[in-house]
C-alpha cells in the first residue's frame, strides 16, 4: 500500500508544473463561473417574476374595465351574465389563473370560470373588505393552493362610475419557468473557451518551469547537506536561462559562506578583545558627561555611551543598533537628531558640523559636533559628540547683559560729571548756590561710580578667591546709621519714608566693617530702587543669643517665587518688566550674599509679588569661620 501511495505522489508531482496545480486552477475557475452563473440566474428569475406580477396586475385591471363596460351597455341581466361568463373564460384561457369570478357587494358570485360557483357566496368572502375605488391585492395562505398565491380584486366601472360588482382573480406569485438550458447555452460556450485557454497556458507554464522542477528535485535530494555540499545542487546549463542563473546564485552563496566564516572569526576576536580591555574602556566612555555616538555609512548607530543614549532617547545599551531614519525621539532629542541627519550625505559620508541647539521651555543648550570618518576597511561614518553647554551659554548671555548694563551704568554718572564740570568751568554762573549744587552732583555721581567699580572688583575678586576679610570690632548702630544717612537723599527724591528702628543698646560685632557696609548699602539701594513713590523702607536690627539679625523691609513691587533664588545669582535679575525697566548690573545681591556667607552667615528673602520684600541678614557673634571669601562657598 505504501509503494502505491509513493508512486501516486510521484505521478502527481513528476512534471515541471505538478498536475494537481493545473487541475486545481480549472476547478477553481469552473466553480467561480458556476457561482457567477447562479447569481445571474437568480437575479434574472427575480426580475422575470417581478415583471410577471406587474403584467398580471395590469391585465386584471384592464379586464375589470372591460367587464364594467359590458355591465353598463346591456340591460338584459341574462345577456350581461352570459357576456361576462364568456369574457372570463377567454381571459382564463390566455392567463394562468386558479380562480376568476365576478361578485356583487354581498360577495355573491355573478359570473365565474367555474359555473358551479354562480349564485353562491365567494369562497374568499372573508378575505379583506370590498373597496369600491382601487385594486386590492391579498396574499393567500400557501396551504389553500399548495403554493404561494395572491388574490386580486378590482371594482367594475361603467363610464368611470361604480357598478357595485367586483372582479376577483387568484393568480400565482411566480412566473412560469422558461427553457433554461437554451437560455444558458452561451454561458457553456464561454466556459469551454476558458478551459481551452487555461490548457494552453498550463502547457506553456510547464515548459517555462522545467528548470524550476529540476532545482526542486535537487533540493529534495540534497536538502540535508546543503551547507556542506553546495556544488551538489548544480544543474546543467542546458536546462535554460533559469538554470544558468541558479548556478550563478550557488557561486554567490559559496562566496558569502567564505565571507561569513571570516566575519565570524573577526567577531570572535572582537569578543576576546572586549573581554580583555573593552570593558574598562566602555566604563570610561559611559562615565563621560558628553554624549558619544558612532554612526556608520548606512546611517546606523553602532555605538552610544550612556550620555549619548540619554540625549537621543536610544533606550538601554542592550537594544539593537538603530537607523537614524527610523528614530522617533521625544521633543528634547529631536533637534539633536535633526543636526546629525542634515550632516548625512547621499554617498554615506558626513559633513563636519558644530551647532548649538536650544531645547525645552528652560532653553537648555546642547552643542552637537560631528567628526566625519574617512573611508576604510570598516567603511565611512562619523563620530557625534554632544555636550550640555547650558551653563556656559547662560553665563555668556549674562556676561553680555552685564557688560551692557555696566556700560549704561558707567555712562550715566560720567555724563553727569562731565556736564556739571563743564558748567563750572564755563564761568557762566557766579551764584554760590548753583556752584554748590554742581559740586554736590559731581560728588554724588563720583560716589555712585565708585560703588559700581567696587561691585565689579568685588565680583572679580570673588571669582578668583582673592578677597580678604579684615575682621574687627564693628559698631552696628553706627554702621546702620551711616548707611541710612548715605541713601537718605535718594529716599527723599522718591518721597519714600526711610526708617531706622534699633534697640536701645547694641553690642559690637566681630566682622569686616567695610564689607558689611557694602552689604547694607546694596540692600538699601535695592529696596529704594524697587519701591514706588511714597512707599516705606524700614531698616532694623536685633541681637540674639548666637547671631545678629539685620532686616531691610520694603513695600515695593516684590519678587515672584520663581525669581527669588535667581536674584542672588551673578549677573541675574528678575524677569519682572518693572525690574527690567530699571538700570542695574545684577551683582549687588550676589555680592551681598557672598560677603555674608564669608562671615559664616547667610541672607534670607521673604517676598510676595506686589506686597514688598524683606531681606534678613544673619551674622554670627563669633569671628568669621572663613578668612577668605571663596565663590565656592556661595554655590
Q: What is the pLDDT of residues 150-185, one digit of tens each?
A: 777 778 777 767 777 877 888 776 766 654 555 566
Residues 435-467 have pLDDT tens digits of 888 888 788 778 777 777 776 776 666 665 556
Q: How far apart are CA 396 and CA 365, in angstroms?
A: 12
The pLDDT confidence band at residue 539, using thresholds 50, 70 and 90, is very high
Residue 205 phi/psi, 5-degree rounding, is -65, -35
| C-alpha dist (Å) from residue 172 to 114, 145, 175, 460, 487 | 18, 10, 7, 114, 119
- The whole-number pLDDT of residue 618 equals 93
Q: How far apart are CA 341 and CA 330, in angstroms?
A: 16
Say yes or no to pLDDT of 310 above 50.
yes
**87-110 mean pLDDT:** 81
- The whole-number pLDDT of residue 418 equals 83
The pLDDT confidence band at residue 541, using thresholds 50, 70 and 90, is very high
- The whole-number pLDDT of residue 176 equals 64
Return the bridge partners of 612, or none. 608
What is the Cα gyration radius of the chain? Answer: 55
Higher-confidence residue: 266 or 618?
Answer: 618
Q: Tell me what the pLDDT averaged over the chain comes to.
A: 75
Three cell numbers, residue 192: 469551454
- Residue % of the chain over a pLDDT of 70: 71
List of domains in the chain? 10-208 (3.30.450.20), 289-388 (3.30.450.20), 465-634 (3.30.565.10)
- The whole-number pLDDT of residue 1 equals 64
- The whole-number pLDDT of residue 344 equals 84
Residues 547-571 have pLDDT tens digits of 899 999 999 888 888 777 877 777 6
Q: Which of 30, 34, 20 is nearest to 202 (CA)?
A: 20
The pLDDT confidence band at residue 619, using thresholds 50, 70 and 90, is very high
Say yes or no to pLDDT of 508 above 80.
yes
- The whole-number pLDDT of residue 439 equals 80
Return the top range by mean pLDDT from 183-197, 236-250, 593-607, 609-623: 593-607
Say if CB 302 and CB 321 are below 8 A apart.
yes
**586 Cβ contact partners less than 8 Å away, ≥ 6 residues apart:** 398, 401, 402, 405, 570, 571, 572, 573
State the residue for C-alpha cell 547694641: 506
Q: Provide long-range contacts, Cβ within 8 A and 24+ apart, for 348-351.
A: 348/297, 348/298, 348/379, 348/380, 348/381, 349/297, 349/375, 349/380, 350/295, 350/380, 350/381, 350/382
Say yes or no to pLDDT of 201 above 80.
no
Strands 497-501 and 536-543, how do they pair? Answer: parallel
Three cell numbers, residue 173: 406569485
Q: Which of 500, 499, 478, 493 is nearest to 444 (CA)?
A: 493
Three cell numbers, residue 585: 548690573
The pLDDT confidence band at residue 633, using thresholds 50, 70 and 90, is very low
Say yes or no to pLDDT of 514 above 80.
yes
Q: How far apart are CA 563 and CA 395, in angstroms?
A: 17
- The whole-number pLDDT of residue 549 equals 92
Count the helix, strand and coil residues of the chain and give each as a percent rounded to the nearest 5: 55, 20, 25
The pLDDT confidence band at residue 332, using thresholds 50, 70 and 90, is confident
The pLDDT confidence band at residue 506, using thresholds 50, 70 and 90, is confident
Residue 446 phi/psi, 5-degree rounding, is -65, -45
- The whole-number pLDDT of residue 489 equals 82
* Cα 530–chain centre separation: 46
Q: How far apart are CA 171 and CA 113, in angstroms?
A: 14
CB atoms within 10 A of CB 249: 13
Residues 361-410 have pLDDT tens digits of 667 888 999 988 865 544 568 889 999 888 888 777 777 766 776 776 67
3-class state of residue 266 by DSSP: helix
- The whole-number pLDDT of residue 7 equals 63
- The whole-number pLDDT of residue 632 equals 35
Amino acid at each position: 500500500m505504501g509503494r502505491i501511495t509513493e508512486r501516486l505522489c510521484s505521478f502527481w508531482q513528476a512534471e515541471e508544473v505538478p498536475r494537481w496545480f493545473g487541475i486545481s486552477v480549472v476547478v477553481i475557475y469552473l466553480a467561480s463561473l458556476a457561482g457567477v452563473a447562479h447569481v445571474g440566474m437568480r437575479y434574472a428569475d427575480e426580475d422575470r417574476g417581478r415583471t410577471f406580477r406587474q403584467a398580471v396586475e395590469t391585465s386584471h385591471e384592464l379586464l375589470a374595465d372591460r367587464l364594467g363596460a359590458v355591465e353598463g351597455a346591456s340591460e338584459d341581466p341574462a345577456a350581461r351574465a352570459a357576456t361576462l361568463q364568456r369574457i372570463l373564460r377567454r381571459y382564463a384561457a390566455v392567463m394562468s389563473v386558479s380562480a376568476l369570478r365576478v361578485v356583487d357587494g354581498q360577495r355573491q358570485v355573478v359570473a365565474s370560470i367555474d359555473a358551479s360557483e354562480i349564485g353562491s357566496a365567494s369562497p374568499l368572502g372573508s378575505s379583506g373588505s370590498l373597496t369600491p375605488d382601487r385594486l386590492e391585492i391579498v396574499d393567500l395562505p400557501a396551504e389553500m393552493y399548495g403554493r404561494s398565491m395572491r388574490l386580486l380584486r378590482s371594482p367594475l366601472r361603467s363610464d368611470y362610475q361604480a357598478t357595485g360588482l367586483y372582479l376577483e382573480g387568484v393568480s400565482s406569485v411566480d412566473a412560469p419557468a422558461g427553457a433554461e438550458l437554451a437560455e444558458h447555452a452561451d454561458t457553456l460556450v464561454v466556459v469551454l473557451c476558458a478551459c481551452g485557454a487555461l490548457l494552453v497556458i498550463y502547457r506553456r507554464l510547464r515548459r517555462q518551469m522545467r528548470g524550476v522542477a529540476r532545482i526542486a528535485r535537487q533540493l529534495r535530494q540534497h536538502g540535508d547537506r546543503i551547507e556542506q555540499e553546495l556544488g551538489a545542487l548544480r544543474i546543467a546549463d542546458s536546462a535554460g536561462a533559469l538554470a544558468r542563473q541558479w548556478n550563478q546564485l550557488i557561486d554567490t552563496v559559496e562566496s558569502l559562506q567564505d565571507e561569513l566564516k571570516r566575519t565570524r572569526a573577526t567577531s570572535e576576536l572582537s569578543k576576546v578583545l572586549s573581554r580583555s580591555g573593552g570593558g574598562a574602556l566602555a566604563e570610561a566612555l559611559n562615565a563621560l558627561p558628553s554624549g558619544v555616538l558612532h554612526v556608520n555609512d548606512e546611517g546606523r548607530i553602532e555605538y552610544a555611551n550612556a550620555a549619548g543614549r540619554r540625549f537621543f532617547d536610544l533606550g538601554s545599551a542592550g537594544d539593537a543598533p538603530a537607523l537614524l531614519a527610523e528614530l522617533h525621539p521625544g521633543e528634547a532629542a529631536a533637534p539633536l537628531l535633526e543636526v546629525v541627519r542634515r550632516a548625512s550625505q547621499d554617498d554615506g559620508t558626513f559633513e563636519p558640523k558644530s551647532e548649538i541647539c536650544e531645547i525645552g521651555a528652560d532653553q537648555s543648550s546642547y552643542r552637537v559636533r560631528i567628526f566625519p570618518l574617512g573611508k576604510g576597511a570598516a567603511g565611512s561614518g562619523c563620530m557625534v559628540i554632544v555636550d550640555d553647554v547650558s551653563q556656559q551659554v547662560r553665563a555668556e548671555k549674562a556676561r553680555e547683559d552685564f557688560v551692557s548694563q555696566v556700560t549704561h551704568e558707567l555712562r550715566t554718572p560720567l555724563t553727569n560729571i562731565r556736564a556739571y564740570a563743564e558748567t563750572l568751568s564755563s564761568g557762566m554762573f557766579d551764584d554760590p548756590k548753583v556752584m554748590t549744587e554742581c559740586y554736590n552732583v559731581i560728588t554724588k555721581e563720583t560716589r555712585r561710580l565708585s560703588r559700581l567699580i567696587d561691585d565689579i572688583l568685588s565680583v572679580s575678586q570673588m571669582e578668583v578667591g582673592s578677597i580678604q576679610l579684615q575682621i574687627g570690632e564693628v559698631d552696628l548702630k553706627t554702621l546702620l546709621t551711616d548707611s541710612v544717612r548715605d541713601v537718605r537723599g535718594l529716599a527723599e527724591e522718591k518721597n519714600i519714608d526711610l526708617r531706622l528702628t534699633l534697640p536701645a543698646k547694641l553690642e559690637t560685632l566681630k566682622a569686616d566693617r567695610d564689607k558689611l557696609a557694602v552689604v547694607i548699602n546694596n540692600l538699601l539701594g535695592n529696596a529704594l530702587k524697587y519701591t514706588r513713590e511714597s512707599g516705606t523702607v524700614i531698616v532694623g536690627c536685633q541681637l540674639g543669643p548666637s547671631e545678629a539679625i539685620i532686616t531691610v523691609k520694603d513695600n515695593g513691587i516684590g519678587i515672584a517665587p520663581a525669581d527669588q533664588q535667581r536674584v542672588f545669582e551673578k549677573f541675574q535679575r528678575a524677569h519682572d518688566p518693572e525690574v527690567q525697566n530699571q538700570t542695574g548690573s545684577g551683582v549687588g545681591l550676589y555680592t551681598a550674599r557672598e560677603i555674608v556667607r564669608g562671615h559664616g552667615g547667610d541672607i534670607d528673602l521673604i517676598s510676595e509679588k506686589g506686597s514688598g520684600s524683606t531681606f534678613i541678614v544673619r551674622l554670627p557673634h563669633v569671628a568669621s569661620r572663613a578668612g577668605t571669601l571663596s565663590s565656592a562657598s556661595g554655590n
